[in-house]
Structure 1
Amino acid sequence: MTNTDQIPAPSRLFEPARLGGLELPSRLVMAPLTRNRAGADGVPGELMAAYYAQRASAGLIIAEAATPNPVGQTYPHIPGIHSAAQIAGWRRVVDAVHGAGGRPMFLQLQHGGRVGHPDTSGHTPLAPSVVPFPETLHTPSGLRNAVPPRAMTAEDVRSTIADFATAARNAVEAGFAGVEVHSANGHLLHQFLARNTNRRTDEWGGGVKGRIRFTTEVVRAVAEAIGPERVGLRISPGSGVNAVEEGDTADLYPALLAALTDIEPVYVHVVHADPDQPLFAAIRRTWPGILIANPVLSREEVVTDGGKQRGERLLDEGADLIALGRGFLANPDFVERLRAGAPLNEIRPELMMHVHGAEGYTDYPTLARV
């Protein structure tokens, strides 16, 4: 065997890629990661700008969940995208990333639905049905039991769809290349998809056709507002995060993806993607466009290679881009470390969420500082 034969093939993760009209320097996407570092008014500040600028080498950054209206806020210090000050704050973030050599950024739009509390948002949470969140919630006054949400009226549904469209326009005004509509992990859109949280008998509930309608109409309104080439959708098929139970996952997602084909969003982003599960293969067969896969990772995989091998397998199974979260969280130079096969920083999980300040946020060292 020659020395050339022993050299491993270059990883496809580092190949350039396209996302609609965007040129990406690699297939590595920084997944959206809620960090609770915005101001109490939901305005991103200089600390958030520094955090994202540190991670500018990602092929694409999908910035953390931002709420499209006040009632959609989940926890304290979650950023919003519904006020002039929030738009200006996000513009500072985008400018900082571009100034550090970063490429495009998308902003995730998330409405918490029943995952919210009046102590945090000042509003009674809205949800498809009056099904209380069965867990405690972080609020400015500490952990509190969730309150029963108010079932959305037809007018609430229409106004919330309009708020998503306005939030998308605000994101583009702030400099984002596009937005990701969050229909995953037990938040409002996922609550409409799930049978245990959507008990409606009108056109927004009942069977699969009714339960996928809200997500479909939000994506449609956002695409009409800023163009489908600027719009992605995040889904988490079969996930029970935030106590949702879909009940008919195998029927739900093919129907949802089929309903999106005439809207043509630029990508679908699958959370907890597993190349060994038939559901991922079924989604790849059903969805004709760009597919971003956010893999299921064990703690050992996070520590050893940050998800590199699992991401490469998902590319082999048909994914176009790979979204990784915890590796980017603890390693400002995550792309460079993966490319070099360098050791990764250990995550300090106690500082991931519901804390404030630079510790566990912008103080993770780069290779040059180790």
Structure 2
Amino acid sequence: MPSLLDPIRVGAIDAKNRIWMAPLTRGRSTREHVPTPLMVEYYAQRATAGVIITEATGISQEGLGWPFAPGIWNDAQVEAWKPVVKAVHDRGGRIVCQIWHMGRLVHPDFLDGAPPISASATTAPDAAHTYQGKKPYAEARALPAEEIPRLLEDYRRATRNAMAAGFDGVQIHAANGYLIDEFLRDGTNHRTDAYGGSIENRVRLLREVTEAVAEIAGKDRTGVRLSPNGEIQGTNDANPEPLFVAAAKALSDVGIAFLEMREPGPNGTFGKADHPPIAPAMKRVFAGTMILNADYDGRSGQAALDAGAADAIAYGRTFIANPDLPARIAADAPLQKDEAATWYSQGPEGYVDYPTLHAAKAA
């Protein structure tokens, strides 16, 4: 069985190990959603990951409702991403851009007062992060079928821009209760047209978006993130296993390079499992590289590889506090703890000031 430290070829991407950096929203862009020089340092510090998947990056203003999160729909954003990508490449790393539409989780404050879009006219629970603090979510506007070609073009544009910025590939964010997930699951998709009702119909938008992205980036540089288990941000499904197995089969038929999945781990950091893991059934129908993300450490991640459950493991919050995570796993060294208070703050504290193992020992 492969080690976490072994290289792996994923489509057209050569990864030097199987310790991937999962997407992590950090809020260090400008108010106009333009990446900053601080982000160059942050991503370069983590270039020893097999592949870095960037923080979720908006495909349009319509789809981006998180303060100080980056976008990739205009030229200024593309130019600001270029030094980030170059810094990672200069250190021998690989970096993939995760592209994002937040669906009903975009507050109208980001849309000049207009409602967000979703599969159906539903309202997310809890409250949205805005520049004026937390505010209740608003009811979404059900996206008419005639607007879907326009949405697909937004995904194509974001993909063209990501490739122009030099990224090694693109990952479609189809998880965690955002737009595509809202179409997938029957708790938020109440449609009666070709995008609702049956599993085949609810998977349709995911397939069409994936085909549109793969058309631009190439199938061998396209990935998808799904969260196949449990309620998250008010989005859930009554019968998730056949739904997500069908989604995995559709993605395999498109021929994408990798599928990364977020299932709640044994500690239930984000989201809570209400069903046995669905990833094993999905792996049986998906022909590409399977990456799992579920609160792993080095030993449990290796155990997942040993069991044949995954081809690589994506680590999220662990990479926040451990920029040299592969070295720490290789040395079986203690892992530093991240500080939740600085997850989304705008400065360097809790972002680029976590020491490497070498620096910690020198101190």
Tell me the TM-score normalised to structure 2 length: 0.93
What is the aligned counterpart of 1:316 among 295, 303, 306?
306
Q: Is the 8 A contact 2:252 2:285 kept in 1?
A: no
Match in the other structure for 2:128: 137
Match in the other structure for 1:47: 38
TM-superposed deviation, 1:250 = 1.2
Q: After the TM superposition, which of the residue ranges 185-194 and 344-353 deviates more from structure 2?
A: 344-353
Match in the other structure for 1:364: 354
Q: After the TM superposition, which of the residue ranges 342-351 and 115-124 deviates more from structure 2?
A: 115-124
TM-superposed deviation, 1:180 = 0.4
- C-alpha distance in structure 2 between counterparts of 1:103 and 1:54, whole Å: 10
- C-alpha distance in structure 2 between counterparts of 1:314 and 1:295, whole Å: 11
Partner SS for 2:171: strand
* Correspondence 1:180-191 to 2 at 5 A: 180-191=171-182
Mind listing any 5+ residue stretches in structure 2 that lack a counterpart? Answer: 267-274
1:32 is aligned to 2:32: no
- C-alpha distance in structure 2 between counterparts of 1:113 and 1:70, whole Å: 11
Partner SS for 2:278: helix
1:245 is aligned to 2:236: yes
Match in the other structure for 1:77: 68
What is the aligned counterpart of 1:216 among 200, 207, 226?
207
- C-alpha distance in structure 1 between counterparts of 2:18 and 2:322, whole Å: 17
- C-alpha distance in structure 2 between counterparts of 1:325 and 1:193, whole Å: 24
1:197 is aligned to 2:196: no
Q: Is the 8 A contact 1:281 1:317 kept in 2?
A: no
- C-alpha distance in structure 1 between counterparts of 2:43 and 2:115, whole Å: 32
What is the aligned counterpart of 1:159 among 143, 150, 153?
150
Mind listing any 5+ residue stretches in structure 1 that lack a counterpart? Answer: 1-9, 298-306
Partner SS for 1:243: coil
Name the aligned partner's letter for residue 170 of structure 1. Answer: N
Partner SS for 1:170: helix
How many residue pairs align between the two structures?
Answer: 350
* Correspondence 1:35-114 to 2 at 5 A: 35-99=26-90, 101-114=91-104
Q: Deviations 1:273-299 (Å, cap 9, x if unpaired)?
A: 7699452221111112111111245xx
% same residue: 39
TM-superposed deviation, 1:317 = 2.9
- C-alpha distance in structure 2 between counterparts of 1:366 and 1:260, whole Å: 37
CA-based RMSD of the aligned residues comes to: 1.7
TM-superposed deviation, 1:39 = 0.6
Q: Is the 8 A contact 2:228 2:279 kept in 1?
A: no
Q: Is the 8 A contact 2:229 2:278 kept in 1?
A: no
Name the aligned partner's letter for residue 287 of structure 2. Answer: P
